[in-house]
Amino acid sequence: MESASATQSAPPASGNGGSAEGTVIDVHRPVDGSVIRSVPVDSPERVAEVVSRVRASQTEWESIGFRGRRRWLERLRDWMIDNEARLADVMQEETGKVRAEAEQEAPFLSGTINYYSEHGEEFLAEETPTPHILPLKVKRLRIVYPPYPVVGLISPWNFPLILAFDDAIPALLAGCAVVIKPSEFTPLSVMELVRAWKEEIGGPDVLDVVNGVGETGGALVDEVDFVQFTGSDRTGKIVMKRAADTLTPVSLELGGKDPLIVLRDADLERAVNATATGGLANAGQICMSIERVYVEEPIYDEFVGRLTEQVRKLRQGRDERGYEADVGAMTTPAQAQVVADHVEDARSKGARVLTGGKRKDGPGDWYEPTVIADADHSMKVMTDETFGPVIPVMKVQDADEAVRMANDSRYGLSASVFARTSSEGEAIARRIEAGAVNVNDVLTTYFAMGVPMGGWKDSGIGFRHASYGIKKFVRPESIVAPRIKQGKRDPLWFPYTSVRRKIVNRANRFINARGLRNRLGL
Ligand code: NAD
């Protein structure tokens, strides 16, 4: 059988609308490059079949109501809780994450199920607005929220379960059927959870997975009623163009270049600890990773020194089921190459690499945790998404320069500000062009389900979490019906006679003008 190696053939195909070159994808272990197993690629015909099958089951899924669907999702939660270690094993193997990080995904999703189970019904509740003008008082206005029948979900490799199911869960609760196309680098975790839904939980046939690269993803876009995409802005734009052919709505969660600002009177130790975690967790492969740091001049040297000392102490390696490592492997060789390129570019333009700064010898995709001082915006590491374990730091004269630099980016996903007080931090946060800002913290906006999470500028269109995260999967249907018995003809209907028009014109003036004299035309 021909084989399309995810780690070799996928990068050129990704984002180019290309196709997997073979009939299977080889999924690798990033820690040493060995093959875990091969997964068949789904052709466009097979994608159409899967979508049509789940579409046929969606009507019944919708008809069981929110509470009926909630019971199924709660079974999925219970299964995840009982099988957390197994899910973490699968994910750790295909991503190269350290154990502590592989263990974060299933519990997070149990929280997503609980949050939307508890609030979803209220978010999707029918509304009965009050008519805004007197003549409409005879009508009952109602808004109902039926789901898009089938949602196609295309997801990336850095959080294989969260970035598929954090949307699949609210979509299912809203009444949609869902077909997921996971990243070709990490399909196994999603396949395992979908298998559990079908085989162990016996869930209705409204959730499935298709595998492949651009051809499979593109076919999914063609078939579904709503596209939820998470990935690079390059592929996001291709997906949006393709969706335009069928006028299919899209929600895009894309890349970022998240800044962190440290003001001179912030708690320096907390800022250093947060920067190390925010920049290097998941080996820096988080859309909301701290990708650039701006520090006020009076504390710059001390900040850089302490950060370097802290990063040098981090343990990088594979730790299986133990907790012996802090920083894992990079999931794809292509991403490791981007990181190496950014660091070399910064070095060649005069930045100082204080620790790390190279790939680790031996098999697998490893890049050392890296701190770069004296970075500036002529360097790719400060302007392009690095998506790896690198923290570049730049000196700024004051808060105004920090804000200016933070906003000097085509991205606007999230940001962090470290200040003496929350209110000083919030004042800076309001000036930052990003969908979410943490004050004296990092990454937390994603875990706070009560606030929306989504990108501005090239970081995306649409939001997850809060009411936004479920309402995007439904479309409002307005129903206007009489409240009282009606006459045979309304005043605005045919025929247009001068008497009736006079009455209507006077009524219009009375309704729209303000002040009694004006209303009466005096
Ligand atoms: P990617 O854009 O290469 O791939 C994302 C998905 O799109 C994969 O499943 C891929 O197979 C699929 N795909 C590729 N070509 C396609 C095509 N022509 N049509 C349809 N689908 C296609 O991204 P990636 O490398 O997997 O993920 C890393 C990127 O994702 C980074 O930029 C990161 O910042 C971003 N990301 C964003 C968020 C967020 O919530 N904003 C979260 C995680 C990652």
H helices of 362-398, in order, are 380-383
Q: Give the pLDDT score at 4.
A: 41
Q: Which of 8-17, 119-128, 246-255, 384-393 has the lowest mean pLDDT?
A: 8-17
Strands of the 352-355 sheet, one edge to the other: 352-355, 370-373, 390-396, 290-296, 258-262, 414-418, 436-439
* Cβ atoms within 10 Å of 322's Cβ, excluding its own: 10
Going by alpha carbons, the residue nearest to atom 18 of ligand 1 is 17
Contacts of 262 by beta carbon, 8 Å cutoff, 6+ apart: 268, 271, 275, 293, 294, 295, 296, 299, 303, 418
pLDDT by residue (tens digit) across 101-148? 999 999 999 999 999 999 999 999 999 999 999 999 999 999 999 999
* Mean predicted lDDT score pLDDT of the chain: 95
Q: 275: closest CA among 306, 317, 316, 313?
A: 306
Catalytic residues: 253, 287
- C-alpha span between 275 and 441 (Å, rounded): 9
Q: Quote the crossing angle between the two packed helices 268-280 and 297-312, to the nearest 10°.
A: 50
Q: Give the pLDDT score at 12.
A: 34
Handedness of CA 226, 230, 233, 235 (dihedral sign): negative
Q: Which mutation among 155, 157, 165, 232 tests ligand 1's pocket best, with the greatest number of atoms within 8 A of CB?
A: 232
Q: Copy the structure tokens of residue 481.
A: 């019906």
Do 192 and 91 form a contact (C-beta atoms < 8 A)? Answer: no
The phi and psi torsions of 2 (rounded to 5 degrees) equal -65, 150
Q: Which residue has the tokens 């070159």?
A: 21
DSSP conformation class of 522: -
Q: Copy the structure tokens of residue 114.
A: 């609980």
Q: Give residue 253 CA to ligand 1 midpoint distance, Å.
A: 9
Helix (H) or strand (E) holding 425: helix 422-429
Whether the model pTM is above 0.75: yes
Three-state SS for 144-190 is ECCECCEEEEECCCCCCCHHHHHHHHHHHHHCCEEEEECCCCCCHHH
Going by alpha carbons, the residue nearest to atom 20 of ligand 1 is 217
Which residues form the pocket of ligand 1, taking CB atoms under 6 Å from any ligand atom?
14-15, 17, 154-158, 163, 181, 183-184, 213-214, 217-218, 230-232, 235, 238-239, 253-256, 287, 385, 387, 413, 455, 460
Going by alpha carbons, the residue nearest to atom 40 of ligand 1 is 253
* Helix, strand or coil, per DSSP, at residue 474: strand
Return the ligand 1 atom nearest residue 221 CA.
20
Return the ligand 1 atom nearest residue 17 CA.
18
pLDDT by residue (tens digit) across 271-326? 999 999 999 999 999 999 999 999 999 999 999 999 999 999 999 999 989 999 99
Q: Which mutation among 186, 230, 246 tests ligand 1's pocket best, with the greatest number of atoms within 8 A of CB?
A: 230
Q: Give residue 228 CA to ligand 1 midpoint distance, Å.
A: 11
